Amino acid sequence: MPTLLEALEEKYGMEPDEKEEHVEEEVLVSIFVPKLPPRQSTPQLLILNDCNIDRAGEPEDLRKKCRIVKELDLAQNKLNNWNEVFVILSHMPRVEFVNLSLNHLTGPIDTPPVTKMDHLRNLVLNNTKLEWCSVEMLLRFLPALEELHLSLNEYTHVLIDTIESGTPTPTGDGGGGGSDGGGSGPEPSHSNAANGAQTATTSHAEDTLSSSCSFSSASSSGSKSSCGDPAATVEPPPYQTDPHAGVRKLHLTGNFISEWGEICRIGRVFPQLEALVLADCPLRSLKPTDSQGNESEEESHKYFQNLKLLNLSNAKIDSWEDIDRLAEYPSLCNVRLQYWPLWERTDSTTEHERRQLLIARLPNISILNGGDTIGAVEREDAERSFIRHYLDKPDVERPRRYYELIGVHGQLDPLVNIDLRPERKVKVRFTFEDKAIERTVDVNRTVSDLKSRLERIFDVPAARMRLFYVDQDFRDLQGLEEMKYPHKVLYSYNIRSGDEIIIERKVKS
């Protein structure tokens, strides 16, 4: 399998380093002459996905060729060793975006990089089966990280910041600092005099994480312990993760997390989180639960004070109460709530009615399911429709939001159901010579069809028949109107009950 360096040279046709160095020396010859021929320069956006790359290659050559790379796509390769990944990144000091999706990076991070990667802002680790302890370790060395993708990694739990409120803090070898349940770790020391203590703390935390790594895979898949009680579920030892204040966006699409209490851990670790994508996760409720599955008194929005975007499409939520919980998130303004069992249960409402119910229940939401921004007129219409929707419901079925909107718009009267469609069938008087009869006529029929029906009543061939329409209100003003167009529909004459149609026989010429 090729190294990254070999794949780079094969794709971009790189010349030997001597030529590259020679060209660099002549960089000031002319501003009209490119520094390097197009096929000899490494682009800032380097895409080498699906190239079977399993290692970095010669470090010195890699450093020379990749020092200007800012975006690196290594998806679907054969990388399975984090040391190789760190070697690659250490020779790309400007890199800001890295995609390592579909590489088998399950193993723990044994040897962290010596220096932090201060420019890396976006890291994509989809379908890598990365363990949570490795995620926690990466967060330490990515202080500038803003966006993290962990989709399709088969997570069933969030095994970071596993200390919960009321859990005693481990001491001795299982230590890690006190916990108040809020997820804030011990303050890092900035004193040069405390280097020794800080090194010991880091070493101890890494030992804790290493211990956790041995459990995380089994716990994520729901496996049982092989010793002691065989029915006991293996759980990672509790430890507390230092909050990462840089991460703003987190993607967890397609994982198997079903409890909101697990998601709350994410909120504790990423207090500045602004966008959280949980599409295709089987979440059953937005109410946190404890370790026994009982509902917790903890507020679901407590750890998401800065969250602006939340994607919950294809969740398993079946309760309007969870919609009301979304209204408690102070900064939330953009949500996706599509394909829920709740909508199947309320399939009697149209898509428009469902949108109105959601807008009325979520006063702070400005974008719903990716649509246009909700304007003041649409919101007022939705809130008024919401009030009328619950007018005939008993008090026990009326949500709290109903009474809040009553205070805004007042008590509304039900809308009058007015049908403005024209009458389909009317009673018309037909006159032929000295004979007059009344018949019910379907106004959706054509003049030709009417003649065919009258042919059997008055014994006049349809081809020899002339019809004249008489409006009962304008008989004296406009007289007769001949119905001469055979394919014209009767309702286009504005025929009403009480009008008259006169029949005449065509005279042979």
The pLDDT tens digits for 435-491 are 899 999 999 899 999 999 899 888 889 999 999 999 988 877 778 899 999 999 998
Nearest to 300 by CA among 347, 259, 343, 252: 259
- Please state, as a whole number, how many other Cβ atoms lie within 10 Å of the Cβ of residue 364: 13
CA 86 to CA 67: how far, in whole Å? 14
Residue 33 burial (CB < 10 Å; 0-12/13-18/19+)? exposed
Average of pLDDT values for 260-279? Answer: 95
**pLDDT category of residue 294 using cuts at 50, 70 and 90:** low
> Which three-class secondary structure state does DSSP give residue 310?
strand
Residues 6+ apart with CB under 8 A from 170: 176, 237, 238, 239
Nearest to 439 by CA among 452, 448, 426, 449: 426
Task: Answer yes or no: are the C-beta atoms of 48 and 74 closer than 8 Å.
Answer: yes
Average of pLDDT values for 80-97? Answer: 91
CA 231 to CA 217: how far, in whole Å? 17
Nearest to 288 by CA among 280, 277, 296, 276: 296
Distance (Å) of CA 381 to CA 324, 326, 333, 353, 410: 19, 21, 19, 11, 14
CA 378 to CA 383: how far, in whole Å? 9
Q: What is the pLDDT of residue 414?
A: 80
CA 438 to CA 428: how far, in whole Å? 6
Per-residue pLDDT tens over the stretch 210-261: 545 654 444 444 433 333 343 444 455 566 788 999 999 999 999 999 999 9
Q: What is the pTM of this model?
A: 0.70
